[in-house]
Chain A
Amino acid sequence: MTFGSDQFRLKTGLAEMLKGGVIMDVINAEQAVIAERAGACAVMALERVPSDIRKEGGVARMSQIRIIRDIMASVSIPVMAKVRIGHFTEARILEALGVDYIDESEVLTPADEEHHVDKHDFKIPFVCGARNLGEALRRIAEGAAMIRTKGEAGSGNIVEAVRHIRTIVKEMKQLTVLSKEELFREAKNLQAPLELVQYVAEAGKLPVPNFSAGGIATPADAALVMQLGAEAVFVGSGIFKSSDPEARAKAIVKATTYYQDPEKLLEASEELGEAMPGLDISKMQESELMQVRGW
């Protein structure tokens, strides 16, 4: 594996720079400028935000290049874009375009139901979603330089994001108290490479930054996942589907920095207008869930 390589260190290095920040979904240059002005540390360029993908259905693909190019030209912060799971050709196109990070995302319709992209083979870093430690380590083994817990994108409901970050943090803690021989067995249980399982047992954390996504709609949501161990947050539909996107974007940025400070969280939570409408995930069919995509 190539985790100590210069190329991999540069990939995780950019993720280090995004820590403590908010990465915002945007669908055009105008939204990207609002996001940057509000303090986003990066933007995710996409054609439709997850809540619209959910509503409209059909196949969700990599964005139109023209949109991504416009966004790259309009802001100075890093620009990320999504590819379908396993669609390494979409990824090659984004690499040629020169985006700063690629999200191999369950929010888009998967292109391959067995394989993810071999991410070591790219110069551009990748972020991937995960619901538990085994999934996170499989993605890292494939070359992901950042993990984001999946949550349930486009739901406006934080419950899945909380479940996923708590699961990963708990599973990491459990590894730290196991003996060496128990780690062999645990690698089998987690369906993850032994080398990465041993790393986590030793370090108590992932070998790449661990961010949170999927369902963050309020400053309090962002602060909650940060308190649970996320190192930065992705906000998708939560900003531009709310009644006052700029105010909400600023408030979520503030809450992510001051997640441990209730007074600042109170300031961030005042006069925000309406949050996006939320969905009750327990009433949804498994086929409606995005988080189950990815293997």
Chain B
Amino acid sequence: MGPVIGVLALQGDFSAHRNALKQSGAQVLEVRSVAQLDQVDGLIIPGGESTTMLRLLRLENLFEPIRNFGQHKPIFGTCAGAILLASEVLHPTQPSLGLLDMTVERNGYGRQVDSHIADIDIDGQVAEAVFIRAPIIRRTGPAVSVLASSGEIPVLVQGGLHLASTFHPELSHGSSVHQFFVRMVEKAMQERRSCLS
């Protein structure tokens, strides 16, 4: 059995992530409460509206628990999820979890008419990237590595335990990005175990 990966299911395309995770060999749990968060080894914050999720995170007292979760366990944020993971959010400025040292500009490409699909290179493999009212990563901190870019703009980044994409791998065929995250979660589990033993 693979690790248990939660998908934050307050709003957004969490069901698409659930399908992609299942294809990647993980067990999936929808997370809407702290009790559910406590049962998972890693968490995906899906695409959707970051303002809606932020409001519900605070209202349902999930904001601090997820921030604490991120001290020990991996989180993968796509689009709105990347915005919530960032240390700084622009256009407009809004609070965020601050788990990934980067500056993200919301709706960086514009409105829906500017949504697009592009080919990107992930570790030597061509992959399709679906951008929907996507944010743009304007700055990455020194400890954050850029795993893929579209033109000059970073679109898939990793910092410490966490992964963020401004595109939607859950809306493409193939689950290589999700498989990568599942391996990150497995590695973090092994490291936590070796710390304890």
Binds B, one of A8-16, A47-55, A147-155, A287-295: A8-16
Find chain B residues with CB under 8 A from A42 CB: 49
Question: Across the interface, do B115 and A10 meet the contact criterion of CB distance under 8 Å?
Answer: yes
| In the assembled complex, B139 has its CB within 8 A of some CB on chain A | no
Residue of B59, B110, B117 touching A254 (CB-CB under 8 A):
B59
Question: Across the interface, do A257 and B132 meet the contact criterion of CB distance under 8 Å?
Answer: no
Find chain A residues with CB under 8 A from B116 CB: 10
Nearest Cβ in chain B — how far from A113, in angstroms? 29
List 19 A-B pairs, Cβ < 8 Å.
Answer: A13-B115, A13-B168, A16-B47, A17-B12, A17-B48, A18-B49, A21-B49, A38-B55, A39-B52, A39-B55, A41-B11, A41-B49, A41-B52, A76-B51, A77-B51, A78-B49, A98-B113, A123-B113, A261-B32
| In the assembled complex, A3 has its CB within 8 A of some CB on chain B | no
| In the assembled complex, A36 has its CB within 8 A of some CB on chain B | yes
Question: Across the interface, do A20 and B14 meet the contact criterion of CB distance under 8 Å?
Answer: yes
| In the assembled complex, B133 has its CB within 8 A of some CB on chain A | yes
Contacting B at CB under 8 A, from A244-267, are 250, 253-254, 256-258, 261
**By DSSP majority rule, is chain B's interface helix, strand, loop, or mixed?**
loop
Question: Across the interface, do A10 and B130 meet the contact criterion of CB distance under 8 Å?
Answer: yes
Closest to A79 in B: B111
Question: Across the interface, do A19 and B113 meet the contact criterion of CB distance under 8 Å?
Answer: no
A17 to B79, CA, bound (A): 10
Residue of A10, A38, A95, A123 touching B132 (CB-CB under 8 A):
A10
Given contacts A19-B13, A39-B51, contact A253 B56 (CB under 8 A): yes
Closest to A42 in B: B49
Residue of A39, A78, A254 touching B133 (CB-CB under 8 A):
A78
Binding site for A on B (CB under 8 A): 9-16, 32, 47-49, 51-52, 55-56, 59, 79-80, 91-92, 106-107, 110-113, 115-117, 130, 132-133, 168, 171
Nearest Cβ in chain B — how far from A2, in angstroms? 14
Interface size on A, residues (CB 8 A): 37
Nearest Cβ in chain B — how far from A194, in angstroms? 25
A77 to B51, CA, bound (A): 8
Given contacts A20-B10, A257-B32, contact A13 B171 (CB under 8 A): yes
| In the assembled complex, A40 has its CB within 8 A of some CB on chain B | yes
Question: Across the interface, do B48 and A21 meet the contact criterion of CB distance under 8 Å?
Answer: yes
A36 to B13, CA, bound (A): 19
| In the assembled complex, A124 has its CB within 8 A of some CB on chain B | yes
Nearest Cβ in chain B — how far from A41, in angstroms? 4
| In the assembled complex, A106 has its CB within 8 A of some CB on chain B | no
Question: Across the interface, do B113 and A14 meet the contact criterion of CB distance under 8 Å?
Answer: no
Find chain B residues with CB under 8 A from A6 CB: 117
Question: Across the interface, do A101 and B112 meet the contact criterion of CB distance under 8 Å?
Answer: yes
Closest to B91 in A: A76
Nearest Cβ in chain A — how far from B92, in angstroms? 6
Residue of B13, B51, B92 touching A16 (CB-CB under 8 A):
B13
Question: Across the interface, do B56 and A257 meet the contact criterion of CB distance under 8 Å?
Answer: yes
Given contacts A21-B11, A39-B55, A78-B49, 14 further A-B contacts (CB under 8 A): A13-B130, A13-B168, A14-B115, A17-B132, A20-B9, A20-B10, A39-B56, A41-B11, A41-B12, A100-B111, A250-B59, A253-B56, A254-B56, A261-B32
**Would you give the 0/1 interface string for A16-39, flagging 1 where the beta carbon is closer than 8 Å to chain B?**
111111000000000000001111
Closest to A122 in B: B113
Find chain A residues with CB under 8 A from B9 CB: 20, 257
**Would you give the 0/1 interface string for A105-141, flagging 1 where the beta carbon is closer than 8 Å to chain B?**
0000000000000000001110000000000000000
Nearest Cβ in chain B — how far from A224, in angstroms? 18
Closest to A41 in B: B49
Nearest Cβ in chain A — how far from B7, in angstroms? 11
**Would you give the 0/1 interface string for A68-107, flagging 1 where the beta carbon is closer than 8 Å to chain B?**
0000100011100000000000000001001111000000
